[in-house]
Amino acid sequence: MVLSLNVILFLTLHLLPGMKSSMVNLINNGYDGIVIAINPSVPEDEKLIENIKEMVTEASTYLFYATKRRVYFRNVRILIPMTWKSKSEYFIPKQESYDQADVIVANPYLKYGDDPYTLQYGRCGEKGKYIHFTPNFLLTDNFHIYGSRGRIFVHEWAHLRWGVFDEYNVDRPFYISRKNTIEATRCSTHITGTNVVFKKCQGGSCITKPCRRDSQTGLYEAKCTFIPEKSQTAKESIMFIQSLHSVTEFCTEKTHNTEAPNLQNKMCNGKSTWDVITNSVDFQNTSPMTERNPPTRPTFSLLRSKQRVVCLVLDKSGSMSLEDRLIRMNQAAELYLIQVIEKGSLVGMVTFDSVAKIQNHLTRITDDNVYQKITANLPQEANGGTSICRGLKAGFQAIIHSNESTSGSEIILLTDGEDKEINLCFEDVKQSGAIIHTIALGPSAAKELETLSNMTGGYRFFANKDINGLTNAFSRISSRSGSITQQAIQLESKALNITGRKRVNGTVPVDSTIGNDTFFVVTWTIKKPEIVLQDPKGKKYKTSDFKEDKLNIRSARLRIPGIAETGTWTYSLLNNHVSFQMLTVTVTTRARSPTTPPVTATAHMSQHTAHYPSPVIVYAQVSQGFLPVLGISVIAIIETEDGRQVTLELWDNGAGADTVKNDGIYSRYFTDYYGNGRYSLKVHARGRDNTARLNLRQPQNKALYVPGYIENGKIILNPPRPEVRDDLAKAKIEDFSRLTYGESFTVSGALPGNHPSVLPPNKITDLEAKFKEDYIQLSWTAPGNVLDKGKANSYVIRISKSFMDLQEDFDNATLVNTSNLIPKEAGSKENFEFKPEHFRVENGTKFYVAVQAINEANLISEVSHIVQAIKFIPLPEDSVHALGTKISAISLAIFGLPMIFSIF
């Protein structure tokens, strides 16, 4: 039974496609459709394009040989921003966009380094989100630090495409091996070099001394660093140090270092990078090429982003009269046109039932008068049947009529009805090159809507009982050009069911990164309420200040003049009606400054489809620029077709569903399936009580910054990595609020109602161990009864002096008595200590420990990663150096030199 459940978990987490809508295809060993997008804020520079081409061309050959002649890069599309001048060789993009590019070129916020990295927060073998290069990295000669750009691109491509991880570890640069030697955290162990401490450095030359053993840990002192030999014979590994000329391969089963405490071993259960790569979908369906030489050079297409073109295609069929759907649609569409769509965009509108009508050809959004011309044509009556294809074709016509191309244009399709003929226009949709965002309203909306979004790279949303669902969906469809400072940001979206003659109060924090173009909107179902809004300095806005819509769609809007005051805004709503009614409050704004990125939040599920009982993962990313935001509350609300809501607190603790601690990616498993159909996702992120802060540490999953090399017996140092200024080191940020809507996902195989637990606790992934006197102290994050929910029933802890015995035969290793260990609630910190009985313990004795959790249904989690605890008796200070000298020839220590460059 346990085996079958582990198989379910493996298939779910490793084989199902992720949410990233990459356009890359692998055809006949060649990758086609890679998109490299340049951020609009990057100054125009032809050299940037030339260096990108050179990088990919070199990478293609390097990749070909590294994968044993299996894959190479055939075609790459470089997406150039609108901020660059138009040229005859630039083509119009189709569905390519900055937000969904495989590689982005953008300046970092708070410039403290140019390390190339991959945003990667899935499980082992899952694709990453994007590779990030800075313009400075691409334009500056960094070969001596990182190696050639082509090699770096392959290192990052392995992160992005195949879901492997780095084989070094900045936090654990060395460890004590099974042979009682100090070893660098690396793969392979054949890389040679020298481990030294730099006493004094000036002008690129340093005085060095041998590394000493730390008297408390038995490892090398913290200032010890590894300087590799420039000339090597080892071929592995690209995921460790691709900069060395000899390194041309990934670590295989034969050369993999299973002991190294790196992320690759932790995330992939000790598997080599080559094993993970060859088990990927790419390699399962690809054989080595017969040609010994690499294929022809990659071809490049230069695409220049165009102005945003959006056409609303809105359903006004008879069923839209139910549950105030037409009114809700109009409220949401109006909010989108006035508060969300970026200035300068071209917008058109089509309405449809059994026939379609172009209500507005494309109109450039410039001022309030333009908004009113479009909103005046929102439908006021609902009747007739549903012909989605006619609505889409009219949308294409509205775009073409204005001499714009449908290619790269966007259509927002909203419908609540079924249409058996929707598949008849699939081919027209493909040929159009348009991006179609779909909003399914209610449980009866056509099931094929998601197909339209999937085939065109558009968003997909579902809205039903949540009165604000449509507003939230429209708010999420912002520009995908990468111009974050121009995008609308939702601060609040709250529905309030208020009894007659009662008042309700609320607050909305406005932080200093936002405040431009700020709107407060109130809607009602029966009668306009009395409204009082107060800014942080005490200025009040009353009901008369809110502009009521002339179309009688039961909404009133206030645009705050100038820049909204920073601080907490308070509002008060009085229901003037005698009976209860539903009131809503929606607040949107934009960035305060074009040079300072605002705090943003995005959310998505790990996949678009789920089959009971397999879990999916909820992800929310909260960041300022590229910097993660930590120490906040992130709450996900998932709604079913019948209106049932499940609330989940998401965690960034590096345990359970969360891959990396403190990376600004908040995660949680979702298993509460209440029937089949569409599910919606909403996430609210809030920084409160001055606990929010930025993580200024360099991201994981990146190319190694090499401090220097040894050439002809001399140490040649690289420039130190830039340090973060002291005033930015803590980087606290004000209290803030962000609301975001994730794309919908579809559940199948679930019966109505709740179900008994059929899943075990999640695998423990953050186990730590150390000796204190005669006891081994363990700590880890508690798993749940079902994955990371609830609490486990008991723990199984086993210990061995042999790493391989514990790895290959866990069930027969020595069992630790855990009768006094009562599991805590999931997400809590567990601490446990025990004395290793039945073992002879002396100075230098090593133990290996691993843990399983068991739930109330007697289902057992996967075995945790294996950790090491060493009994080390500190020696007198004067004898420590001698011990260090005695073992100095057996090892090397990597990348721990705060004296030369900072580790954040």
pLDDT tens for 692-716 read 998 887 778 888 888 888 888 888 8
Q: Give me the pLDDT at residue 557, please.
A: 95
- The CA distance from 335 to 586, in Å, is 9
Residues 256 and 326 in one domain: no
Residue type present at position 586: T
601-620: b or e for each residue (b if 16 or more CB lie within 10 Å)?
A: bbbbbbbbebbbbbbbbbbb
Q: Give me the pLDDT at residue 542, please.
A: 97
57-76: b or e for each residue (b if 16 or more CB lie within 10 Å)?
A: bbbbbbbbebbebbbbbbbb
Q: Rank 117-121, 271-275, 466-470 by mean pLDDT and report only the highest.
A: 271-275
What sign for the dihedral angle of Cα 652, 653, 657, 659?
positive
Residues 281 and 311 in one domain: no
Residue type present at position 765: T
| 658 located within any domain | no
Query: Of 481, 516, 544, which residue sits at a domain end?
Result: 481
Decide if pLDDT at 31 tops 60.
yes
Residues 110 and 242 in one domain: yes
Query: Of 461, 481, 501, which residue sits at a domain end?
Result: 481
Pull the structure tokens for residue 697. 């540490």
Residues 296 and 365 in one domain: no
pLDDT, greater one: 267 or 180: 267
| 266 located within any domain | yes
pLDDT bucket at 204, cuts 50 / 70 / 90 = low
What's the farthest any 2 CA atoms get from each other in the chain?
92
Q: Give me the pLDDT at residue 234, please.
A: 94
Q: Give me the pLDDT at residue 253, please.
A: 95
- C-alpha torsion angle, residues 177, 181, 183, 188 (rounded to 10): -70
| 673 located within any domain | no
pLDDT in tens, 304-325: 999 999 999 999 999 999 999 9
Residues 246 and 391 in one domain: no
| 799 located within any domain | yes
Residues 311 and 300 in one domain: no
Give the closest residue to 394 by CA, choosing from 380, 413, 370: 413
pLDDT in tens, 633-660: 999 999 999 899 999 999 999 999 998 8
Residues 25 and 140 in one domain: yes
Give the closest residue to 478 by CA, choosing from 505, 459, 450, 451: 459
Q: Give me the pLDDT at residue 202, please.
A: 66
| 792 located within any domain | yes
Q: Which sequence positions are flagged as catalytic?
A: 156
pLDDT bucket at 884, cuts 50 / 70 / 90 = very low
Residues 268 and 327 in one domain: no
In percent, how much of the chain has pLDDT > 70?
92
Cβ partners under 8 Å of residue 342, min gap 6: 308, 365, 478, 479, 483, 486, 487
Strands 867-870 and 814-815: unpaired
pLDDT in tens, 1-27: 343 344 334 333 333 333 446 889 999
Strands (E), 273-382: 299-304, 309-315, 346-352, 356-364
- The CA distance from 750 to 646, in Å, is 16
Decide if pLDDT at 630 tops 60.
yes
Residue 788's domain is classified under what CATH number?
Answer: 2.60.40.10
Task: Tell me what the mean pLDDT of segment 486-499 comes to.
Answer: 94
| 255 located within any domain | yes
| 170 located within any domain | yes
Residues 43 and 164 in one domain: yes
279-297: b or e for each residue (b if 16 or more CB lie within 10 Å)?
A: bbebbeebeebeeeeebee
pLDDT in tens, 576-594: 999 999 999 999 999 999 9
Query: Of 258, 280, 306, which residue sits at a domain end?
Result: 306
pLDDT in tens, 379-432: 999 999 999 999 999 999 999 999 999 999 999 999 999 999 999 999 999 999
Residue 441's domain is classified under what CATH number?
Answer: 3.40.50.410
Residues 245 and 355 in one domain: no
| 724 located within any domain | no
Pull the structure tokens for residue 431. 């040929």
Decide if pLDDT at 73 tops 70.
yes
- The pLDDT mean for the chain works out to 89
**Domain count across the chain:** 3
Cβ partners under 8 Å of residue 596, min gap 6: 485, 513
- Which residue do the tokens 């909103």 mark? 375
Q: 850 is in which domain, residue-wise? A: 768-871
> What pTM was estimated for this model as a whole?
0.91
Residues 376 and 389 in one domain: yes
Residues 125 and 183 in one domain: yes
